[in-house]
Chain A
Amino acid sequence: MLQSWVIVLASFFYLGILFAIAWYADRRADAGRSLIANPVVYALSLGVYCTTWTFYGSVGRAAASGIGFLPIYLGPTLLFALAGFILHKMIRVAKTNRITSIADFVASRYGKSQLLGGLVTVIAVVGVIPYIALQLKAVSNSFAILASYPDIVMPATAGAVPLFQDSALYVAMILAVFTILFGTRHLDATERHEGMVAAIAVESVVKLVAFLAVGVFVVWGMHDGISDIFSRAAVVPEVARRLTTADSPAAYGTWGTLVFLSLFASLLLPRQFQIAVVENVDESHLSRAVWMFPLYLFLINLFVLPVALAGMLHFPGSAVDADTFVLTLPMAYQQEALALFVYIGGLSAATGMVIVETIALSTMVCNDLVMPLLLRLPMLGLATRADLSGLLLEIRRWAIAIILGLGYLYFRVAGEAYALVSIGLISFAAVAQFAPVVIGGLFWKGGTRDGALAGLAAGFVLWTYTLLLPSFAKSGWLPDGFIAHGLFGIELLRPQHLFGLVGLDEITHCLVWSLLVNLGAYIGVSLQRAPNLREARQATLFVGGAEAAGIPAWRGGAGVTDLLPLAGRFLGSERAQEAFVRHARQRGLKGIEELPADTRLVNFAETLLAGAIGSASARVMVASVVTEEPLGIDEVMNILDEASQVRAYTRELEQKSLELTRATTELREANARLQQLDRMKDDFISTVTHELRTPLTSIRAFSEMLQEDPQIDLDQRVRFLGIIVSEAVRLSRLINQILDLAKLESGRAEWTVAAVDVAEVIREAAESLTVLFAEKRVTLELDACPAGFTVLADRDRLMQVLVNLLSNALKFVPADGGHVKVGAGALCVPGNPLRGQATVNEVRVSVTDNGPGIRAEDQEVIFDKFHQGAGTADVLTDKPQGTGLGLPISRQIIEYFNGRLWVESTPGAGARFVFTLPRQAGDNVAVLPGNTVPGGSWEHKKQTGGAP
C-alpha cells in the first residue's frame, strides 16, 4: 500500500539527497576541486530542458496527435548543430561581460539599458509562469493519483479543491523553500551555482532512468516488444490514427513551427540560458554536449509513442487522462515500486525545472527590475547604505516565493483548460520573442536600444493578446466574447484569427504575428538612427571585432577607496576584499593599496559588480563614484572623441594614403606637362636651328665655291654674291624675329601705347612697300579707308603687322596681274545683355589678295611658329623669303591689344587676312548700330582668332 505519508516521505527523502549533493558540490567548489568541471555533467544538466512536460506530457501529446510530441526535441538537436555559431559565441560573450541572465544579456548588448533589462524580465516572468504552473499541476496530479493506489482515479479539477486542501499549493510552498535554500545561500560574484548544477545533473539521470524503466516495462513487461505494440495498435482504428500524422499543409506548418520554436526556446528560456551559458564553466564542454544532449533527448523520447499507444489500448475511451499514462500503466499492473519510482522521476523533472527557472528569474527580477527601482528611490537611502548584499539575497528570496505564488495562481486559474504541453507552448512562444534581439544582437551591429525595446514590446503585446488572454478566457476568468467576436466586436481583432488569418493553430498563429511585428519593429526602429557610442561599444563586444578593445568604457578613474566599499556593499566586504586582492596580484602588485586609480580598475569593479547586480545596475553604481562624471555632456563628448579617434585612426590612415595617391597622380601629371613643355621647347629649338642653318648653308656653299674657284666668270660671281647677301639679310631678319617673338612671348616687350588712327597706319605701311609692289608689278589698292577710326595700340607694332600681312600677300600673288587690297571699317553690334552678349564696337582691317589661297586645314597652322608640323603637311609656306615667324608675331601683337587675327580663304580664289581691334570710344566717326562699315560685308567670326 502506498500511503500518502509514504509518498511524502519518499519525496522529502529524494529532495534531501539532492540537497546533500548540492551541498557537497558547493564545498568541493569552494575547495577548488569542482565536481561540475566535467563535460558529461554539463551535458546532463542541460537535461533540465525535459520537465514534467516531457515526463508526463509527451505521452499525452502522443496520445492526442501521434508523433506530434517530437518537434519539441528535434529543435534543440538542431540548435546544438548550430552550437559553433550561436552557443559558443554566447558563452564567450557572457563570460567576458559577466552576464548573469538573459535579461542581463539583452540589456548589456544594447548599451547596458536598465529599461531593456526590466522589459525582458517582465516578459520572462509573465511568459514562464504558465510553465511553472504546469510543473505544479503535474506534481500535484501525480501525487493525488499515486495516493489513491491501487485505484486509478483522476484528480479533481484544480479550482474545485478548497485552497488549503490543494496539494499543488503545498508543492509550490515546498519547492519555494527548497529553491531558496538551494539558490540563495550566498551571493556569488559570478552568479554560478555549482551545487545546483550538480543536483540538476543527477536529476536528469533520475528522470531518464525512471522513464526508460516505464518504457521497458510497457514494451517488454506488458507486451512482446515494440512491434507487438504497433501491430496491436494498427488494428484499433482509434489508435491506428496515431501512427501517422495529419497530411495537410497546416499540419506540416505547425510541425515546422514547433521545430523552430523549440530551437529558440532551448536557448532563450531563462533556465536554459542559465544552465547552458551562465553556469558553463568551460566552453570546451560544449563540444561534448553537442551530441550528448541530443542523445539524452532521443533516449527520453524513445518509448513515448509505445507508452502512449499502450495506454490508449489499455484505457480505451477517455476515463484516464493520457498525461498520466506513465504513472497509471504501472499502477494498473500493480507495479508499486515502479509507480513510486515514476512519481520520483516526475518530481525530479519538476523540481529541476522549478529550481533553475525560479533562480534564473529571481536573479533577473532582483538585478534588472527591483534594484534599479530601489536605487532610484532616494528616500530608501540605498545609495549610501553600507552593506546591500543581504538585501540582494532578501530580494531574490522574495522573488522566488512570488514567482512560485504566481505559478500556483495561474494553475488555479487556467490549469485545467489545457493539456500540459499546450501550457508549455504558451511559454515557449513568450520566450521566442527574445530571439530577434538576442540572435540579432550577436550578429548585427546596427541594433539599438530603442529597436530592441520596440521589438520586444510589440511582440509581447501580441503574444499577450493572441495567446495569454485567450488562455484566461477559455478558463472562464475573462469573458470569452472577445475570442469569438474580437475586441470591441471588431472581427479583424479576433485574437486567434487576427486580421482574418485562419487555418493555423493558435501557437503558429501567435508566432506568425508576434515575431513578424517583433522583428519588424526591432529592425525598423533600430534603423531610425545609428547606434550611439555605448551601443556601438557593446555591439562590437558582442558581435566581435578587434576595435572593441580600443573603445574605453570609462574615461575617468576611481580609486580603491571608492570602489572597494562600493563592491563591498553588494558583495559583502569580505568577498569584495578577496576579489580586489586577486585583481591586484594579477596585475603584479603586492596589495590593494598599490592599485592605481585607473580605467582598468574601474572596469574590474564594474565587471565584479555586474556579476552580482547585473551590468546595467553595475554601470549606474560605478558611475556614482567615478571621479569624472561619465554621463556629463563634456564627458560623453570626450568619450565620443576618444572612440572616434580610435575609429578614425584607420580612417585617417586611409585618408592619408588616398591623399598620397592623389599627390602622386598630380605630380605625375605635372611631370608629364613639364616633359611635354620640354619636348615642345626641344622641337622649337630644333626648328629654329633648321631655319638658321638653311641660309647659312647657302652662304657657306657659295662662299666656298667663290673662294676655291677664282676662274668663275663675272656674271656668276655677281649672282653668287647677290645670293650670299640676300641669305645674310634673311638670316639677320630671322634672328631679329626670333628675338622679337621671344620677347613678345615672355612679356618683356616694350609697348608704347597711344591712340592710333588706323587709316594713317595703313597708308604709311602701304607707302613703305610701294617700291616692292612696283617691282613685282602688283597693284595695291587702299579700298575705303576712312580716317578717324582710332584704336589704342603701339603704332610701330601695328605697322609691323600691316607690313607683314602686305609682304605676305605680295609674296603669293602672281607677278603681273597680282592684286592686293586693303580695307578698313568699323562694326557696331549692340549686345543683348539678357543673352549675355556684350556690345561689339571694333575696327576691322583686311588684306585681300588674289593669290592661290590657303586650304581650310592650314588656315590655323600658318599661325604656328615655323609652321610647326609643316614637315609632312603640304602647306603653302612663305618660302623662299619667309621666316615662318611673321604671322605668329603678328597674332601675338594683335592679341596683346585684345584683338583677333585670322584668315578667310577659298583655295584658288585668294586669301583675306583680317584683324580686329577694339575701337576707342569717342572717336569722331559715327557708325550706325548694326551697320557694316564701308569696305565690304563682314562675316562676324568672333572666335576665329582664338582667345586673346
Chain B
Amino acid sequence: MSHRILIVDDEPNIVISLEYLMNKEGFQVAVATDGETALQLASAFVPDLILLDVMMPKKSGFEVCQALRADPALVGVKIIMLTAKGRESEIAKGLALGADVYITKPFSTKDLVLQIKSLLA
C-alpha cells in the first residue's frame, strides 16, 4: 500500500514540482494551498506525511503544525517543514512545535526524497 503525502504550499510552481516528485515515487498525493485547507485535508485524507510550508495565507505553517500535533487522530503523522525562512530561531521553533524534519528552500530533490523515505520506513 502506497503512502499518502499531503503537500501544503501556496506557491503553485513549487506545488507542481513536489506533486510531480511524489507521484513519481509512487505516493498518493493531496494538495492544499493554505493552512485551513491543509487542516481539513489532514483530517479527511489522513496522510502518512505532510510537506508543510511556513509562509502561507490564512494559517502559517507553524500554526498548522501545532494544530496537527494537538489532534489525537493524527498521531504518528510525519511532518517535514519546508520553508524559505532559514533562520536558526525558526528552525528551532518548527522542531519545537513537533516537525520531524525542517528543510530550507531551495532544497535538493534527491535529499528530500531520501528524507521522506527514511521517515516513512
Kindly identify which residue among A696, A709, A877 contacts B106, using a CB–CB cutoff of 8 Å.
Answer: A696
Given contacts A697-B106, A697-B107, contact A702 B17 (CB under 8 A): yes
* Cβ-defined contact, A705 with B86, below 8 A: no
Asked whether any CB of chain A lies closer than 8 Å to the CB of B58, the reply is yes
Asked whether any CB of chain A lies closer than 8 Å to the CB of B118, the reply is no
Q: Which residues of B contact A877 (CB under 8 A)?
A: 57
Q: Mark B1-39, 1 if CB is under 8 A from A, else 0.
A: 000000000111110111011001000000000000000
Given contacts A693-B106, A694-B105, A698-B17, contact A874 B58 (CB under 8 A): yes
Q: Could you tell me the distance between the alpha carbons of A311 and B36 in the complex, rounded to whole angstroms?
A: 118
* Cβ-defined contact, A697 with B14, below 8 A: yes
Q: Could you tell me the distance between the alpha carbons of A880 and B105 in the complex, rounded to whole angstroms?
A: 17
Q: Could you tell me the distance between the alpha carbons of A686 and B55 in the complex, rounded to whole angstroms?
A: 12
Q: Which residues of B contact A874 (CB under 8 A)?
A: 57-58
Q: Mark B77-121, 1 if CB is under 8 A from A, else 0.
A: 000000111110000000000000000111111100000000000
Q: Mark A859-896, 1 if CB is under 8 A from B, else 0.
A: 00000000000111011010110000000000000000
Q: What's the dominant secondary structure at chain A's contact region?
A: helix
Name the distance in Å between A641's Cβ and chain B's nearest Cβ.
62
Q: Which residues of B contact A697 (CB under 8 A)?
A: 11, 14, 84, 105-107
Kindly identify which residue among A686, A699, A709, A879 contacts B87, using a CB–CB cutoff of 8 Å.
Answer: A686
A689, A701, A880 pick with most chain B CB within 10 angstroms: A701
Interface size class of A (residues with CB under 8 A): 20 to 34
Given contacts A690-B85, A880-B11, contact A705 B21 (CB under 8 A): yes
Given contacts A690-B55, A871-B60, A875-B57, contact A701 B107 (CB under 8 A): yes
Kindly identify which residue among A694, A702, A727, A875 contacts B84, using a CB–CB cutoff of 8 Å.
Answer: A694
Q: Which residue of A lies closest to B54 (CB)?
A: A871
* Cβ-defined contact, B109 with A693, below 8 A: no
Asked whether any CB of chain B lies closer than 8 Å to the CB of A594, the reply is no
* Cβ-defined contact, B13 with A686, below 8 A: no
Q: Which residue of A lies closest to B61 (CB)?
A: A871
Q: Which residues of A contact B57 (CB under 8 A)?
A: 870, 874-875, 877
* Cβ-defined contact, A690 with B106, below 8 A: no
Q: Could you tell me the distance between the alpha carbons of A702 and B21 in the complex, rounded to whole angstroms?
A: 10
Given contacts A689-B84, A697-B84, contact A708 B110 (CB under 8 A): yes
Q: Which residue of B lies closest to A691 (CB)?
A: B84
Q: Which residues of A contact B104 (CB under 8 A)?
A: 693
Given contacts A871-B60, A877-B57, contact A704 B110 (CB under 8 A): yes
Name the distance in Å between A218's Cβ and chain B's nearest Cβ.
106
* Cβ-defined contact, A701 with B12, below 8 A: no
Interface size class of B (residues with CB under 8 A): 20 to 34
Name the distance in Å between B86's Cβ and chain A's nearest Cβ.
7
Q: Could you tell me the distance between the alpha carbons of A704 and B16 in the complex, rounded to whole angstroms?
A: 14
Asked whether any CB of chain B lies closer than 8 Å to the CB of A723, the reply is yes
Q: Which residues of A contact B110 (CB under 8 A)?
A: 704, 708
* Cβ-defined contact, A879 with B10, below 8 A: yes
Q: Which residues of A contact B108 (CB under 8 A)?
A: 700, 704
Q: Could you tell me the distance between the alpha carbons of A874 and B59 in the complex, rounded to whole angstroms?
A: 8
* Cβ-defined contact, B105 with A696, below 8 A: yes
* Cβ-defined contact, A699 with B86, below 8 A: no
Q: Which residues of A contact B60 (CB under 8 A)?
A: 871-872
Q: Which residues of A contact B24 (CB under 8 A)?
A: 709
A690, A692, A699, A875 pick with most chain B CB within 10 angstroms: A690
Q: Which residue of A lies closest to B82 (CB)?
A: A697
Given contacts A690-B85, A697-B84, A701-B21, contact A708 B11 (CB under 8 A): no
Name the distance in Å between B38's Cβ and chain A's nearest Cβ.
14
B11, B60, B104 pick with most chain A CB within 10 angstroms: B11
Q: Could you tell me the distance between the alpha carbons of A708 and B87 in the complex, rounded to whole angstroms?
A: 30
Q: Could you tell me the distance between the alpha carbons of A689 and B106 in the complex, rounded to whole angstroms?
A: 11
* Cβ-defined contact, A704 with B109, below 8 A: yes
Q: Which residue of B lies closest to A712 (CB)?
A: B20
A691, A692, A872 pick with most chain B CB within 10 angstroms: A872
* Cβ-defined contact, A727 with B105, below 8 A: no
Q: Mark B36-80, 1 if CB is under 8 A from A, else 0.
A: 000000000000000000110110100100000000000000000
Name the distance in Å between A534's Cβ and chain B's nearest Cβ.
71
* Cβ-defined contact, A700 with B107, below 8 A: yes
A686, A689, A697, A879 pick with most chain B CB within 10 angstroms: A697
* Cβ-defined contact, B14 with A694, below 8 A: yes
Q: Could you tell me the distance between the alpha carbons of A623 and B60 in the complex, rounded to whole angstroms?
A: 90
Q: Which residue of B lies closest to A876 (CB)?
A: B57
Q: Which residue of B lies closest to A875 (CB)?
A: B57
Q: Could you tell me the distance between the alpha carbons of A874 and B37 in the complex, rounded to whole angstroms?
A: 14
* Cβ-defined contact, B11 with A705, below 8 A: no
* Cβ-defined contact, B85 with A686, below 8 A: yes
Given contacts A874-B57, A874-B58, contact A698 B86 (CB under 8 A): no
Name the distance in Å between A393's Cβ and chain B's nearest Cβ.
98
Name the distance in Å between A908's Cβ and chain B's nearest Cβ.
18
Name the distance in Å between B25's Cβ and chain A's nearest Cβ.
12
* Cβ-defined contact, B11 with A871, below 8 A: no
Q: Could you tell me the distance between the alpha carbons of A695 and B11 in the complex, rounded to whole angstroms?
A: 9
Which residues on A are within 8 Å of B, measured CB to CB? 686, 689-702, 704-705, 708-709, 716, 723, 726-727, 870-872, 874-875, 877, 879-880
Closest 8 CB pairs of A and B: A693-B84, A701-B17, A698-B13, A697-B105, A700-B106, A697-B106, A690-B84, A704-B109
What are 6 A-B contacts defined by CB distance under 8 Å?
A689-B85, A690-B85, A693-B105, A709-B24, A877-B57, A879-B11
Given A698-B14, A871-B54, 20 new contacts (CB under 8 A): A690-B55, A690-B84, A693-B84, A694-B11, A696-B106, A698-B11, A699-B106, A701-B21, A702-B13, A702-B17, A705-B20, A705-B109, A709-B24, A723-B13, A723-B17, A871-B55, A874-B58, A875-B57, A879-B11, A880-B12
